[in-house]
Amino acid sequence: MATRKENSTYSSNEKWIIECDLTYAVNKIGGRWKILIISKLESKVHRFSELKKELPFITERMLALQLRALEKDGLVKRTIYAEIPPRVEYELTEMALEFGPIFKQLSIWGGKHRSDTNLSS
């Protein structure tokens, strides 16, 4: 995978955008799957296969990429057990658990306004 130039427009914009606390937070949970993964892990620790069963429309590759990104950002803790076969479990960190009330409010807002939008236009 190619690396981005440090003086590219994208890199410059990213530095400015990250200065905003709200944008920083949204960037950490942005994407199609991260919020769903976090919501599944909120209730209990999951193994990869359990997450895959609960999110049947995500590919294994994308699930692995999203879990790695969440782990890198300090939102998910990955624990590997030295067993045969190896067992890997994923759980939310304390930092990620703080999203719980925020996601609940967003869910309420979404439920309230989902039918208000005209998706055909």
Note the pLDDT tens digit of each residue in 59-80: 999 999 999 999 999 999 999 9
pLDDT at 4: 62
Residue 12 has pLDDT above 90, yes or no: no
pTM beyond 0.85, yes or no: no
Q: What is the pLDDT of residues 95-121, one digit of tens each?
A: 999 999 999 999 999 988 888 776 544
> What would the pLDDT profile of 16-27 be if each residue is shown by its tens digit?
776 778 888 888
* DSSP string computed for 27-94: HHH-SSSHHHHHHHHHHS-EEHHHHHHHSTTS-HHHHHHHHHHHHHTTSEEEEEE--SS-EEEEEE-H
Q: In sequence order, which residues have a C-beta less than 8 Å from that of residue 39 and are 6 or more positions away?
A: 103
pLDDT at residue number 97: 95
Tokens coding 64: 């692995």
Q: What is the pLDDT of residue 80?
A: 94
Residue 113 in tokens: 């306004």
> How do residues 29-65 score in pLDDT, each as one tens digit?
988 899 999 999 998 999 999 999 999 999 999 999 9
CB count in 10 Å sphere of residue 52: 15
User: How many angstroms separate the CA atoms of 73 and 37, rounded?
Assistant: 14
Model pLDDT, residue 119:
58
